[in-house]
Every structure is written in structure tokens, then in C-alpha cells.
Amino acid sequence: MKFEVLKKSHLKRNIIIGVVVVAIISALILNFTRAKYRTTQSIPLVNGTINYSLADLNIVAITVDGEPSDTIPTGNYELTEDSYCTVKGEEDSNITLNYDMNTQHLTITPFTTKGTKCYLDFVTATTKKVDTILGTIEVNLDTPDFSKTSCTSKTYNGTARTCGEETVGIYEETTSKGTTYYYRGDVENNYLVFANKYWRIIRINEDGTVRIIYSGEKSEVDAAGKETILANGYNDRSTDYTQTQTSAFNSSSNLSYYVGYTYQTNAQRPSSQNGGTASTIKGILDTWYSNNLQSYDNKIASGGSAGFCNDREMASGYSWSSEPSSTFYYAAYERRSNGTPSYECSNTNDLYTTKIGLITADEVMYAGAAGTTTNYGYYLYTGNYYWTMSPYYTYSSGDAFVFAVYSAGQLDNFGVDRTLGVRPVICLTTNNTITGSGTISDPYVVS
């Protein structure tokens, strides 16, 4: 009896095993059949699972920048038009190869024939496409030489001028907060209309908010009542409409702490972020915001992830003092001298999370300025003098100086009690809808 039960147990087990084996074989046959007639195959070339077998697809040869390679390159490479696939030994012109450098996926369309062989040719990419709130933008992958201005030999006002290098377009910079995309040079695709005013886009902040600088009312009405749509004012010395008004940075200038966007008596900076006494120019900006942008408040971010930096750190080898004693320079001066701008704000109490501020000296350098060299060939040139919010130095007499953009586009200093142009800077939130292409005839429009 015991033997009979054992026999039945073995029989039942063998039947179960047989059923499982048949199910596995059937699944494999079904998957093979489906794969054979799949029209598109996306292949992760570096990470993840490779969803093909060598019997289906064979990558025969890989070249990188003209040199043979055993592996697919990682990083910023693009697939050239010299890449192709063969079927049964013949090149198939119907097969399209696409490579996404961000995900490092190769897509083959259509993928219908077993034994397809592909030849892949990669070159170092000079640009890449990035999806942003502005749509898909093309970003340059090289890094400009910030010791040089952004333009080459050009003629302005009938005079040939030579300066810098030709770096025009959108570039990227990685910071401690992520990746920011900034506009540089003589760009013509960063016009934006918001609150019935023209703005130029400075950059897309690390958190996706859009930093913009005031560039004039959208239209003006002449004496006859005719409305004229204005351009940005770029390269136009005859008008002042690229700024809201003129003002001193601070009405007092004889003490070092007057370089502050807000300041605290006898202190390098206020003891808390957004604390202290408001500078003259902060009061001007806050009032302008209330009169012109308050109704759009929900569309404007508090400085974005980068805030507004009034960097009061010292340059190397200098110490801050509240008493007139010796000349000392701030960190932005050192970065301008070395051609090493930065989007970082090293002290949180120099970072203002307000709705409105000014451009920094570093942002002007990223845009195309280089020291005291004139530059008529970048989008921040207006033919006027206007303020940044970056401290420059304090003279031994105690007089305080802040960076400004000069009328010929260079980046230099003025005493804080001087009267210069005011160009407000704000950041648009990521929940805005933005349409257009960014040109003067089809500017980005915020709705």
C-alpha cells in the first residue's frame, strides 16, 4: 500500500513538471515570434536591460571620432549620417537609426528582420536638445572663455571693432543646485513679453524658473495716438526705454556697508537673510513692482532656486572693515579679474528670496562681458549705464563701489551714490504657459 501511494505521487509530480515545461517553451516561441515582427526596437546601450539577442541584431563596427572602438561611447556623443544597417548583406535605406545622448538609447525603425547588422559612427556632440518651459532648446556643450567678450570683429555705428570670441547661443552650467541654461552673446531668441513689457531672458534657473531682465514697454503711443511696437532697444544709444528709471544704488556712499542691497550698520552684512535697512535701489524696485507687477504676483517666483545674490564675500587676501582704513575688494571683483564667474552665492545672508532684484556681475560675464573691454555685441548692451547688485570694492576713504554695466557694454564700477539706470530682474514660475519662439517678431509670451 505504501508503494502504491509513492507511485501515484511520482506520477502527479511528473505531470506537473511536464505542464510547466510546455508552458515555458510556448512562451519562448510566442516572444520570439513577436520580436521577429517588431517594427521598432529601443536599445539601452550602457545601462539597463538590452532587449535583443545577437541572433536578431549584430553591431558589426563602432567608430568614435573617426577611430575604431570596442564599446559605445558615454557622454556627449551623437550618431552621424554615416551610420547604417544591412539586411542579408545589403544596406537597407528604409532603416532609420536615432541615438538619444541623454538616455543613451539607440532606436532602430523598422526592426523586422532577424540578422540585421548595423555600423555605428559617433562624433563628439557640439550641441544637445533640452526640454524646458520654453519648449525644446538647443544647448551648446562647450564652455566659453570668460576672460574674453562674446563677440568677434563686427562693425557698430560705422566703426569696425574687434573683441573676444564668437560665442553665441545657450550654454549650460552645473551648480550645487543643478543645471542652469544661460544665454550668451548676440542672441536674438531670448525676447519675452510679460505684463505688457519686453524682457530678455538671462537664463533658466536650476529649478526651471525663468530669470528675465526688463527691456522696455511693449508699445508706445505717439502724439497722433498711433501705437508702435518697440524692439528691445539693443544697440540703440538714442533711447532709455530699456530701463525703468535712474537712481542711486544707495544715497550714502561713505561707509563700506553701503554696498548692501540691504545693510546693517557696522556689519559686513545683515544678521539675517532679507534683513537690515533697505538700500535706495531696493526701495525703488519694490515700489515699481507694486505699481507694475503686483497683479501678476502668482506668476513670479521668489528669486527662483538661485535667489538674488548681493555677494559680500571678500576677494583673496582682503579683510572687511567698517572703518575707513584701506582699500579692499569683494569676491566678484576677483572672479571678473580671473574670468571665473559663478552662479553660487557663498553666504546665505547675501541671498535675497525676494520677487524682484537686479542682475549680478557674474550673470553679466556669462552673458558676454569681460572686464573693462567694450562689447557692443551682446544682448545686455543698451548704450546706457545701469546697475548690477554685486559689490566691487571699498576705497580707503570709506567710499563704497558696486559693479555696473557701462554704456559701451563693459563691466566696471561706480560709487553707490551715482545715478545710473535701473533694470529690474524677476523670475517666472514653472507653472506659467509660455508660447512663441523668442525672436523679436515672435517673442515668448507668458499667459
Burial of 49 (C-beta count, 10 Å sphere; 0-12/13-18/19+): exposed
Between CA 287 and CA 298 the distance in angstroms is 17
Interval 290-303: pLDDT, tens: 999 999 999 999 87
CB 190 within 8 A of CB 440: no
Smallest Cα–Cα separation from 79: which of 59, 63, 92, 91? 63
User: pTM of the predicted model, to two decimals?
Assistant: 0.81
Q: How far does Cα 155 stand from its chain's mean position?
A: 29
Interval 139-164: pLDDT, tens: 999 999 999 999 755 665 666 665 66
Q: What pLDDT does residue 222 have?
A: 58
Which of 120-129, 223-232, 236-245 shows the lowest per-residue confidence on average (mean pLDDT)? 223-232
Using the structure block, give the residue that is written with the C-alpha cell 526701495.
283
Between CA 417 and CA 136 the distance in angstroms is 43
Count of CB atoms situated within 10 Å of the CB of 98: 13
Give me the residues paired with residue 127 across strands. 140
Average predicted confidence (pLDDT) for the chain = 84
Q: What pLDDT does residue 167 have?
A: 84
Q: What pLDDT does residue 325 have?
A: 77
Between CA 431 and CA 125 the distance in angstroms is 32
Which of 92-101, 177-186, 348-357 shows the lowest per-residue confidence on average (mean pLDDT)? 92-101
Q: Which helix (H) or strand (E) holds 23?
A: helix 2-36
Highest mean pLDDT among 229-243, 278-292, 378-392: 278-292
* Strands 191-194 and 159-161, bridge-based pairing: unpaired
Phi (first) and psi of residue 387, to 5 degrees: -80, 150
pLDDT band at 361 (very low <50, low <70, confident <90, very high): very high
Per-residue cell: 160: 569696425
Please list, in sequence order, all residues whose beta carbon lies within 8 angstroms of the beta carbon of residue 135, skipping any fewer than 6 positions away. Answer: 434
Report the share of the chain in percent with pLDDT over 90. Answer: 59
Q: What pLDDT does residue 224 have?
A: 64
Q: What pLDDT does residue 156 have?
A: 59
Examine the pLDDT at 8 and tell me if it is beyond 60.
Answer: no
Between CA 359 and CA 260 the distance in angstroms is 14
Between CA 346 and CA 331 the distance in angstroms is 10
pLDDT band at 166 (very low <50, low <70, confident <90, very high): confident
CB 207 within 8 A of CB 305: yes
To the nearest 5 percent, what fractions of the chain are helix, strand and coil?
Answer: 15, 35, 50
Phi (first) and psi of residue 128, to 5 degrees: -145, 160
**What's the count of helices (H) and strands (E) in the chain, helices before strands?**
4, 34
Whether cis (ω within 30° of 0) applies to the bond prior to 341 is no
Examine the pLDDT at 29 and tell me if it is beyond 50.
Answer: no
Per-residue cell: 108: 532602430
Interval 34-65: pLDDT, tens: 444 345 555 555 433 334 554 567 888 999 99
Examine the pLDDT at 3 and tell me if it is beyond 60.
Answer: no
Between CA 108 and CA 39 the distance in angstroms is 8
Which of 27-41, 348-362, 424-438 shows the lowest per-residue confidence on average (mean pLDDT)? 27-41
| Residue 350 DSSP symbol | G
Smallest Cα–Cα separation from 328: which of 390, 393, 254? 393
Examine the pLDDT at 256 and tell me if it is beyond 80.
Answer: yes
- Averaged pLDDT, 75-102: 90
pLDDT band at 233 (very low <50, low <70, confident <90, very high): very low
Q: Is 18 helix (H, G, I), strand (E, B) or coil?
A: helix
- Averaged pLDDT, 226-250: 66
- Averaged pLDDT, 323-332: 90
